[in-house]
Structure 1
Amino acid sequence: MRFDSLEIFLKSGTDALAKGPVAIIFAEDLIEVDTSVRHHLSLGFKSLILFGPETMTLPPAVELKIHRVTYDTRAPNMLTNAVNALIKAAPDIWMYYCYNAEYLFYPFCENRTIGDMLTFHTEERRFGMLTYVVDLYAGDLDEAPNAVSLEDAHLDKSGYYALGRSSTDGPKERQLDFFGGLRWRFEEHMPAARRRIDRIAIFKSQIGLELREDHTFNMEEYNTFSCPWHHNITAAIGSFRTAKALKANAGSAFDIHTFRWHNSVEFEWHSQQLLDLGLMEPGQWF
């Protein structure tokens, strides 16, 4: 079903928010929108809301399965405006958000649904889930000048690290800033505020909850990587977003001839590879 604006969706499309988990995808451009939608539909989300320009085209069979909202995904604060409006409209359901050319993976996602995982996560009294945004990039930029290739996708197998997160009151409990991937290797082209690779992309909405522009929430427990007594599940988002930006921006496009280096490996499109590399963990979920 199509909606001409967020306002119209909030008036007449809220059936899509009746039951979670709900996937929310923001199409910043027209690259791999179809595959992003198909991938997330395959994970078992109860509904999927796609925000993007009117010019998007999807196969009819795919479009019938989603709720499509015409939206300016290049506008300032577009992410927080939309997500926070959905939180306010539908408290107490699980939500997930990402951009086009991004693909969610969680432990055992090949044979367990997103609902299975979130049932367990809820039983552990967790209402947010840390997701690492793992940069994907084409191995051959001559063949894929926009840096996007699902058939020749690569990622960094090492070079990831974390630093303690602080506030004016001191270190924040169970919160870390994570770095690595292309944002680390090409940090001279990345604004300091955009170098982190952590995102609380999976969360349970509630009254008063608000997403901030830095991908954290106004309720600090949502921003923690685990509960106090043991490790919890984490997930990963394979993302071409940084690679696309580095090859699209004039300040970096001509300086980068390849993203591959000695720590590049082919992406296998399987959760086990991400588990083996330590880019997500199952916690107590086996």
Structure 2
Amino acid sequence: MEFTSPSDMTARIRGLGAAPLLMILCEDAVEIDSTITHHLSAGFGHIVLALPPGVAAPAGLPPQVHPLHLPERPDDMATTCVNALIDGRPEGAWTAWLYNAEYLFTPFAETRTVGEAMTFCTEERRDAILTFVVDLYAETLATAPNAVDRDAACMDEVGYFALARWDKENDEAFDRQLDFHGGLRWRFEEHIPWERRRIDRVAMFRARKGLRLLADHTVTDPEMCTYSAPWHHSMTACITSFRAAKALSTNPGSRAAVTTFKWDGSVPFEWRAQQLMDLGLMEPGQWF
């Protein structure tokens, strides 16, 4: 299936059924192939590839991958495309989204599929899985000027923290919501607008009528923005991402200040969910 616009996708996407579906927002052509391959292997039934003008789909797409050709590049690709996707999905269908050169890991991903994780969360009466963005970056910029190197990817093992998310209207902290920080957005914060420094996203959820993704990567249902259920710890997931490193190393405002991303807190990324759990970046909850 191929879509010519977000509205065309909304009208026809229901035909793909209720299997777990992922949308990949392609800001550029970097690592689109590997992003697709990783998530098909993770167990997504279908992938929608959002392609703005100037970004072409890779040749020979698998039948489970469906291009969405955007007539223009939206000011905010995430809200424009994901909300159009939500409007067309069956009620309760698990839906996820991320950018190209980003790779989702759920707990025990080496032996269990993303669909199994979603089914478990449904049984736990959870309609969303909070995700944390873990920045990846090349070991050296000498051989990878855009900071993208899957074969020698590094990540921060320290420097992550959370602050209370404040409800200004009621002058109190939101229940079970926190603003999470760390990675390159923390270490290079002088180059990152303050509203883009958080690393938490509501990137996996069950679609429902009226639900909206917001520009800060939360959604309009407050319970879907929580890191845990009221009764016990809940599963979380990680999105390992070259996106921040790619932007910092190529944007004119920051590239001159970046000579390397490596520091004392860097470790090689092993491309394993277990590493992320061992570092405390991902919570299996009650799933053993």
TM-score for the superposition, normalised by structure 2: 0.95
Q: 1:23, 1:59 → 2: CA distance?
A: 19
Asked if the contact 1:22–1:46 (Cα under 8 Å) also holds between the matched residues in 2, the reply is yes
Asked if the contact 1:26–1:73 (Cα under 8 Å) also holds between the matched residues in 2, the reply is no
Asked if the contact 1:51–1:73 (Cα under 8 Å) also holds between the matched residues in 2, the reply is no
Match of 2:22 in 1: 23
Asked if the contact 1:28–1:74 (Cα under 8 Å) also holds between the matched residues in 2, the reply is no
The alpha carbon displacement at 1:58 in A equals 1.8
The alpha carbon displacement at 1:93 in A equals 0.6
Match of 1:10 in 2: 10
Match of 2:213 in 1: 211
Q: 1:19, 1:99 → 2: CA distance?
A: 22
1:55-204 alignment, distance < 5 Å: 55-60=55-60, 62-71=61-70, 74-90=73-89, 91-168=91-168, 169=170, 170-204=172-206
Unmatched 5+ stretches in structure 1: none
The alpha carbon displacement at 1:259 in A equals 0.2
The alpha carbon displacement at 1:51 in A equals 0.5
Q: Secondary structure at the match of 2:150?
A: coil
The AA in structure 2 aligned to 1:103 is Y
Tell me the percent identity: 49
1:188-267 alignment, distance < 5 Å: 188-267=190-269
Asked if the contact 1:52–1:73 (Cα under 8 Å) also holds between the matched residues in 2, the reply is no
The alpha carbon displacement at 1:112 in A equals 0.7
The AA in structure 2 aligned to 1:76 is D
Distance 1:63 1:5, change over 3 A: farther
The alpha carbon displacement at 1:103 in A equals 0.1
TM-score for the superposition, normalised by structure 1: 0.96
Match of 1:275 in 2: 277
The alpha carbon displacement at 1:5 in A equals 2.0
- Alignment length (residue pairs): 284
The alpha carbon displacement at 1:211 in A equals 0.7
Q: Secondary structure at the match of 2:253?
A: helix
The alpha carbon displacement at 1:73 in A equals 7.5
The alpha carbon displacement at 1:57 in A equals 3.8
The alpha carbon displacement at 1:65 in A equals 2.6
Asked if the contact 1:36–1:102 (Cα under 8 Å) also holds between the matched residues in 2, the reply is yes
The alpha carbon displacement at 1:199 in A equals 0.5
Q: 2:260, 2:71 → 1: CA distance?
A: 31
Q: 2:70, 2:228 → 1: CA distance?
A: 34
Q: 1:259, 1:205 → 2: CA distance?
A: 37
Asked if the contact 1:28–1:73 (Cα under 8 Å) also holds between the matched residues in 2, the reply is no
The alpha carbon displacement at 1:21 in A equals 1.1
